[in-house]
Amino acid sequence: MKFHKEGIPSLIIVLLFTLIVNGAIYFFLNDFMIIRIIGYLVTAFLTIIIIQFFRSPIRNWVPKDGEIISPADGTVVVIEEVEETEYFNEKRLQISVFMSPLNVHINRYPISGLLKYCKYHPGLYLFAWNPKSSTENERTTTVVEDNKGRSVLFRQIAGALARRIVFYGKEGESVNQNKECGFIKFGSRVDLLLPLDVELNIKLNEKVKGGITTIAKFNKG
């Protein structure tokens, strides 16, 4: 288990807060045992929360040609056919993965290929399970096309708590399946927009792991 680089600023802030609070309690309120205990518990709790949220578990990544891998840890909350209007302008199968604050928040490329499209959209901060969050919340839309011309669109979507989306890729570069592509801070959602003829490998309310769980398989035809 490692600590993700995106969490370093947050960890520094929490550690400074811990130092200031506990230092103030020690010098000015040291005789009040209940206050000391509350202060120690609160600062320890905040430190543990930051460490667990920004954890980066070590996993064995296995490339899976022809398969679309989950870009995030979380729970499948949507499986439905929708009209995609930003890039493809056609019907697509939407798979949405909700990431709670307890999930690992690293995002990964679902397939290998060329990064054809990448655009950041400012927006609202509706709760991530709200259907309108896909098109109205702050989000980053990315399209990857493999060497057989098959494309996958996925969106990193901010939620009510998530106020920062990080994406590392640039249009025109080659990317590898399972490679880390970004991070969303504090509760969020990732949408996958897939061809209608894919073979689904998951069901509603299923728990998935980023870089490991196969969401669907491309039609071999």
For residue range 201-219, list pLDDT tens digits in order: 999 999 999 999 999 999 8
Would you say residue 187 has pLDDT above 80?
no
Please tell me whether residues 46 and 77 are part of one structural domain.
Answer: no
Would you say residue 38 has pLDDT above 70?
yes
Mean predicted confidence (pLDDT) in 148-175: 87
Identify the pLDDT of residue 20.
Answer: 94
State the residue range of the domain holding 21: 2-56
The span from the CA of 37 to the CA of 35, in Å, is: 5
pTM score, two decimals?
Answer: 0.87
Please tell me whether residues 208 and 104 are part of one structural domain.
Answer: yes
Please check whether residue 94 lies inside any domain of the structure.
yes
Please tell me whether residues 41 and 101 are part of one structural domain.
Answer: no
Please check whether residue 98 lies inside any domain of the structure.
yes
Please tell me whether residues 119 and 71 are part of one structural domain.
Answer: yes
The span from the CA of 153 to the CA of 135, in Å, is: 14
Identify the pLDDT of residue 220.
Answer: 77
**Per-residue CA distances from 129 to 158, 190, 210 (Å):** 11, 10, 19
Identify the pLDDT of residue 131.
Answer: 61
Among 119, 117, 114, 110, CA closest to 180: 110
Active site residues: 188
Contact 214, 67 (CB under 8 A): yes
Identify the pLDDT of residue 128.
Answer: 57
| CATH code, domain carrying 123 | 2.70.70.10
Please check whether residue 62 lies inside any domain of the structure.
no
Identify the pLDDT of residue 161.
Answer: 62
| Range 2-20 burial, b when 16+ CB lie within 10 A, else e | eebebbeebbeebeeebee
Mean predicted confidence (pLDDT) in 131-145: 81
CA 113 to chain centre: 20
Mean predicted confidence (pLDDT) in 90-111: 93
Please tell me whether residues 211 and 155 are part of one structural domain.
Answer: yes
Q: How many domains does the chain have?
A: 2
Identify the pLDDT of residue 188.
Answer: 82
Please tell me whether residues 97 and 173 are part of one structural domain.
Answer: yes
118 φ/ψ angles, rounded to the nearest 5 degrees: -155, 125
Please tell me whether residues 81 and 189 are part of one structural domain.
Answer: yes
Q: Helix 8-28 crosses helix 33-53 at what angle (to 10 degrees)?
A: 170
Contact 181, 107 (CB under 8 A): yes
Please tell me whether residues 115 and 20 are part of one structural domain.
Answer: no
